[in-house]
Structure 1
C-alpha cells in the first residue's frame, strides 16, 4: 500500500495514546474511521504491535483478576478458581485470541472474490483486528463477573462495525456486504466455539484442582 493516510494512527503521547484514540474512533464513529484505516500503510506486524497485543489482553486479564477477587457465582455458590488454573486459562485464551484474528483475516480475504470484493491480506487483517476492538474493550467488565454480560453486548456491537468495514476495506459492493458479513460472522462463531473448547480442555484440569 502506498496511499498516505489522512490522519496519523499514533497521536502525540506515544503508542498508548494511539491505541486509545483508535479504539475510541472505531467504537464511536466507525463509519468515518474505516476509510482512514483503509488508507493507512500497514503490515501484519504493525497491526498486531501494539494494538492487537494490548487490546486482546484485556478480557483474559480482567477475567483472571475478577475470578480471583470476586469469584464466579454459579447457582448461588461463589467459586474462586485456583490461581494456577485461572492463569493457564487466561494465557491460553490470550494466545488463541491472537491466532483467531489471523485466521479470521484469512477467511475474510479468501471470501472476498465470492462477494465481488478484492483479495488483500493486509486489509483483511485490518478488518479482523479492528472489528475485535468492541469485544476486547468490553472484556474489561470481566473484572466483575456479574457484569460480564455487558462485554457480550460490546461484542455484538462489533458485528455492526464489521458490516461497515467489509465493503470499505475489501471493496465489496454494498448490495453484497450483508451476505459477506453474515458468512464471516458464521465463521467467527465457529472459531469462537473452537477456542472455547480448546481453552476448556486445556485449563479444566487445573481449574478443578482443589487449592
Structure 2
C-alpha cells in the first residue's frame, strides 16, 4: 500500500475502503507495519503530558479531588489513586512514568484484538463474511485515527478531550464503512447501521472492563494496592 493509498483511507474512505478489500495483509504484517507504531502514540502522549505538561494534570486532579470530597458516592480507592498519582506527578518519578507508558502501550496493542473479535463474530449475523484476517484489517485501519488523536493526551484540556472523542467517532465510522466495503455487510434494510450500533455497544462495554484491568495495574505501579 502506497502512502497516498493510506491517506485515501481517511480522506476518501467510501472509495478507498472498496479497494482495501483487495489487499491481502497478514496479521503479522499489520502489527509490524502499522499497529506497533500508531499504538505507541497515546502512550507517548500520556508520558509527555505527565513529564512536560504535568501542571495541567495536577490542576485537573486537584479539581477532581475537590469535587470528590463533596460526593459521598465517590470510590475511596479512586480518590486514593488520584491522590497518589498527583503526588507522583509532583515528585516527577520518571521510572513510574515510564512503567505507566509501557502499560498503556501494551493495552493499546491489545485493542485491535478486542475490536477484531467483535467484528469477526458479528459480521456474519448481519450478512457479512466471517474472515478473521479481513476483520483484523478493518479493526487495524479503523483504530488509527483514535491512536493519532491520542497524542492530545499530552495536555489535559477540553480541546484535547474533544479531539480524542472525534478520533473515536471516526474510528466507528470507518468500521461502518469497512463493514460494507470489506466484509460485505448489506447496506439495505439498515443492516450495516445495526451492525455498527452493536459493535459500538460491545466495544465500549469490553473496553470498560479492560480499562479496569489497566487501572488496577496502574494502581500497583503507583503503589496504591499492596503498598
TM range (shorter): 0.7 to 0.9
Which of the numbers 125, 133, 153 marks the counterpart of 2:136?
125
Q: What residue is the counterpart of 1:42 in the other structure? A: 25
Q: Is the CA contact (8 Å cut-off) linking 1:85 and 1:204 kept in structure 2?
A: no
- The 5-angstrom pairing of residues 61-210 of structure 1 reads 61-71=44-54, 72=57, 73-74=59-60, 75-76=62-63, 79=86, 80=89, 82-146=93-157, 147-149=159-161, 150-175=163-188, 176-207=191-222
User: Cα offset for 1:148?
Assistant: 2.8
The runs of at least 4 consecutive aligned structure 1 residues that moved more than 3 Å come to 75-79
Decide which structure has the larger Cα Rg and report it. 2
User: Cα offset for 1:87?
Assistant: 2.1
Deviation track 1:113-155 (CA, whole Å, cap 9, x = no partner) reads: 2101111111100111111011001011112222430222211
Q: Is the CA contact (8 Å cut-off) linking 1:115 and 1:172 kept in structure 2?
A: yes
Aligned length: 192
For the aligned residue pairs, the C-alpha RMSD in angstroms reads 2.2
Q: What residue is the counterpart of 1:5 in the other structure? A: none
What is the distance in 1 between the residues matched to 2:94 and 2:210?
Answer: 21
SS of the equivalent of 1:42 reads: coil
- The 5-angstrom pairing of residues 1-80 of structure 1 reads 9=1, 11=2, 18=3, 22=6, 24-71=7-54, 72=57, 73-74=59-60, 75-76=62-63, 79=86, 80=89
Structure 1 length-normalised TM: 0.82
Task: Name stretches of at least 5 consecutive residues in structure 1 with no aligned partner.
Answer: 1-8, 12-17
SS of the equivalent of 1:179 reads: helix
* Higher mean C-alpha displacement, 107-116 vs 145-154: 145-154
What is the distance in 2 between the residues matched to 1:196 and 1:84?
Answer: 22
Deviation track 1:128-185 (CA, whole Å, cap 9, x = no partner) reads: 1111011001011112222430222211122212111111111111131011111111
SS of the equivalent of 1:132 reads: helix
What is the distance in 2 between the residues matched to 1:164 and 1:64?
Answer: 33
Task: Name stretches of at least 5 consecutive residues in structure 2 with no aligned partner.
Answer: 65-84
What is the distance in 2 between the residues matched to 1:117 and 1:106?
Answer: 14
Deviation track 1:23-60 (CA, whole Å, cap 9, x = no partner) reads: x3232221122112111111111111120110011001
Q: Is the CA contact (8 Å cut-off) linking 1:30 and 1:164 kept in structure 2?
A: yes
* Higher mean C-alpha displacement, 69-78 vs 173-182: 69-78
User: Cα offset for 1:76?
Assistant: 4.6
Decide which structure has greater helix share: 2
SS of the equivalent of 2:21 reads: helix
